[in-house]
Structure 1
Amino acid sequence: MATTGMQLMGLILCIIGWVGGALVCAMPMWRVTAFIGNNIVVAQIIWEGLWMTCIVQSTGQIQCKVYDSMLALPSDMQAARGLTVLSMLMCALSLALGVVGVKCTKCIGVNSLKARVARISGAIFAIAGFLYLVPICWTAHAIIRDFYDPHVAAPHKRELGPALYVGWVASALILIGGSLLYAGSSPPGMPGSPTFSSGDSSPRRAASQVKGYV
């Protein structure tokens, strides 16, 4: 049977993860300047994101510039853009289905249909969380690989930006929330839920019927 508490908890976690994922998608702090050796004292810090790059001066002034051409970007950044946007759109669709399918709303009168809609919403949320996790992990892998590569010059090395850590948390919230929403939306009448028959099938009634036949 559908559990309202699990449904609401899963939906709330998914909403928080969705908002956090949207912020991470827009943040430019995916890659930040790495301080290596004599480069610890620099006049500016470079931030690189999916949509723009920013330069932070030592005076605190921030100058940001959107990438001129999408086709000129590396293939991994183009894939990261596509996956993050697709994940956010799937979360928006799942949120609409989740609001309709949770037990405490009255959008649909049939309980079995509401439960199925909520389970579909939870499954789409889980898939969206996984799709969002892929570009985060891939970007982190590329940053770590280039950081320890001796053939990459020190000025071109980057470190993990704060946006990646927030992205990991956001994707985890979406995955956990989608799982809770799916698990708490079992349609009524599924195997495993106890059912109790009426008093007509009691042992005494069954015994009397057997005697009648004899």
Structure 2
Amino acid sequence: MPQQEMVFLTPKMMERTALFVTFGGFVTSLTTTFIPFWKTMNSDLNEVENWFSGLWHMCLYTEEVGIQCKAYESVLALPMDLQISRVFMMVSIGTGVMSMLAAFPGMEGVNCLQEPKLKRGLIILSGVLAWISGLTTLAPISIVAYTTVVEFWDEGFPDVMPRWEYGEAMFSGWFGGLALVLGGTLFFIAVCMGDFNQRSQSAPNSPQVKHRARMQYLKTEVL
């Protein structure tokens, strides 16, 4: 009696896992873009005030009033790292949306398209776009992190002056970028699994395999 193998990972399951991971990374990256917690600053002279800086707003938190945010008045007045980060994060959001839109009709079980080559191409495109989205999230986060470290240890600033430090958005941005890169990688793995299954299914029906099977049968008859 032939032994039956249980397959837990199929191209269909891998595609859905990739879409789920990509969606989670996209939501995290989108949230990171607009929350004003990229950098935080707390003055030792006035411990009840906490400053927060993001790509779009500067916020002040006090125990009496709560948090108050104000948008930056001029884009040109922003530091260069924040200007670059704005562009990169917008690219990340756009490519993340396109990655999920391209993946849905290309997935197995979705009957929007019937051409296998076209569906395979859409999954590859989704993986490439997810990679771009992840890298364009990791790049600005890393740039801001680098400038924050350089400014924090700058000996030209007096010791009494408060320094900017990492905010919560930095860590969520790293997580979202890595999730997008992982989602793109899983899309490519799903494509490779689908190609392997197609080769495995077509191999027993190929003329070379049939000829070898017939020759083996004739040798058995002779013996």
* TM range, smaller chain: 0.7 to 0.9
AA of the residue aligned to 1:159: E
Q: Is the 8 A contact 1:44 1:57 kept in 2?
A: yes
- State the 1:201 CA deviation: 2.7
1:46-61 superposed matches below 5 A: 46-61=51-66
Task: Give 3-state SS (helix, strand or coil) of 1:63's partner.
Answer: strand
Alignment of structure 1 residues 1-214 onto 2, 5 Å = 3-34=11-42, 39=44, 41-153=46-158, 154-186=160-192, 193-194=199-200, 195-197=203-205, 201-203=210-212, 205-206=214-215
> Offset of 1:182 from its aligned partner?
1.7
Q: 1:207 to 1:29 in 2, by over 3 A?
A: closer
Per the TM alignment, residue 17 of structure 1 is displaced from its structure 2 partner at its CA by 0.7
* Residue 42 (structure 1) shift: 1.9
Mark the runs of 5 or more structure 1 residues left unpaired by the alignment: 210-214
**Bigger relative CO (Cα 8 Å, ≥ 6 apart):** 1
What are structure 2's unaligned runs of at least 5 residues?
1-9, 219-223
Change (3 A) 1:188 1:14: closer
Give, in angstroms, the shift of residue 146 of structure 1: 1.1
Deviation digits for residues 73-93 of structure 1 (CA, Å, limit 9, x no counterpart):
122211100000111001111
Comparing 46-55 and 65-74, the one that deviates more: 65-74
Q: TM-score, normalised by structure 1?
A: 0.86
CA distance in 2, matches of 1:208, 1:48: 77
The total of aligned residue pairs comes to 205
Q: How high is the sequence identity, in percent, across the aligned residues?
A: 24
